[in-house]
Structure 1
């Protein structure tokens, strides 16, 4: 048993509440509830768990646990780890919150954003067709510019060390003030100072 299990073999109330709430949130994020609950259990576990351990602790069918673990492995949110003297697969969760967020962002980009980018780029191949109205052409160019800018920003940000991004995030509204200053400088050709 893991340390997150009490003497009776049950999850402590705080852990159970977290697992249940994370499962509910998973549904809001478009993730199966079981997948999210398994990730939450592994996230709070202090040692690797087998599929059997997970099934027992969460009261889930073994097949459901196996399918959910496959999905979490595909997202790279859990990993298989060897345990000396045990031939079964054991699993641990990614516990670095920044890595979790990065992996989810990358996965969502590949599944949701990249197909949209491809569709807009394919449409742009025919944007100069004289049968397309100027309004439609302008909208296609606007979408194309927007996705290229966002994709370029994403590709830059994914390579920035997490500590630097966290410093930027902590600056909060100060960044907006800096952008206002930079905007005035760019518009006038000289700074305010």
Structure 2
């Protein structure tokens, strides 16, 4: 499969962005390729198109499947697995946020909760240090609760909220007090 110059630019940039987000470059490039593609692609075609090793494609596909961003599809008359990426940008980013929360925020919350319990019993722990730990815990608890609230909203509602942008901040005011 040959990519146009614009498709190549998109795939390469998605790979660069992936590395900045802590995702392997090839994983991100495969995701970009599958996102742009209309038909399911076999691993061999992905490897050939991107110029990467077939084994690297297999590993990357498994990673994308673990993130729930790519699924297996079968093509009539072909015994090989083919792969499709989610096409809905809102669903892609919702899943990425869910997975990052599950993989990064949730374990941190667990440790901070343990530290809060243990810190209250730790005579050697300075009160100021315990207070800073509590501030971090409170922040992540608030983030987690807000994330769960937003997660339940339909994409159309989230789009309207994002389009409002800074209007909400201006409505609330610089000191966090409602102007109403």
What's the TM-score, normalizing by structure 2?
Answer: 0.92
> Is 1:43 matched with 2:35?
yes
Query: In structure 2, do the counterparts of structure 1 residues 184 and 114 end up closer, same or farther at CA, with 3 Å as the change threshold?
Result: closer
> How far did 1:152 drift?
0.8
CA contact (8 A) 2:72 2:82 kept: yes
Q: Offset at 1:131?
A: 3.5
Change (3 A) 1:183 1:41: closer
Deviation of the 1:41 alpha carbon: 0.9
Q: 1:28 to 1:184 in 2, by over 3 A?
A: closer
Match among 113, 127, 135 for residue 121 of structure 1: 113
RMSD: 1.8
CA shift at 1:54, angstroms?
Answer: 0.6
Is 1:137 equivalent to 2:112 in the alignment?
A: no
Mapped pair 1:159 → 2:170: no
Provide structure 2 residue ranges, at least 5 long, that are not aligned to the other structure: none
Residues 140 and 181 of structure 1, relative CA distance in 2, 3 Å threshold: closer
Say whether residues 1:85 and 2:77 are aligned partners: yes
Give secondary structure in 1 for the equivalent of 2:118. coil
2:6 is aligned to 14
Tell me which moved more, 131-140 or 76-85: 131-140
Q: What secondary structure is seen at the aligned counterpart in 1 of 2:84?
A: strand
Secondary structure in structure 2 of the residue aligned to 1:150: helix
Kindly tell me the number of residue pairs found equivalent between the two proteins.
Answer: 179
| Contact 2:105–2:140 (Cα < 8 Å) also in 1 | no
Q: Which has the larger radius of gyration?
A: 1
Greater Cα shift, 129-138 or 85-94: 129-138
1:82-111 Cα offsets, whole Å, 9 max, x none, are 222222101111111111111111111122
User: What stretches of structure 1 of length at least 5 have no aligned partner?
Assistant: 186-190
Distance 2:57 2:133 in 1: 44
In the TM superposition, residue 145 of structure 1 has moved relative to its aligned partner by: 1.6
Q: What's 2:162 paired with?
A: 169
1:69 aligns with 2:61: yes
Normalised by the length of structure 1, the TM-score is 0.86
Q: Distance in 1 between matches of 2:29 and 2:177?
A: 49
Give, in whole Å, the separation in 1 of the partners of 2:55 and 2:174.
57
> Where does structure 1 differ by over 6 angstroms across 4 or more consecutive aligned residues?
none
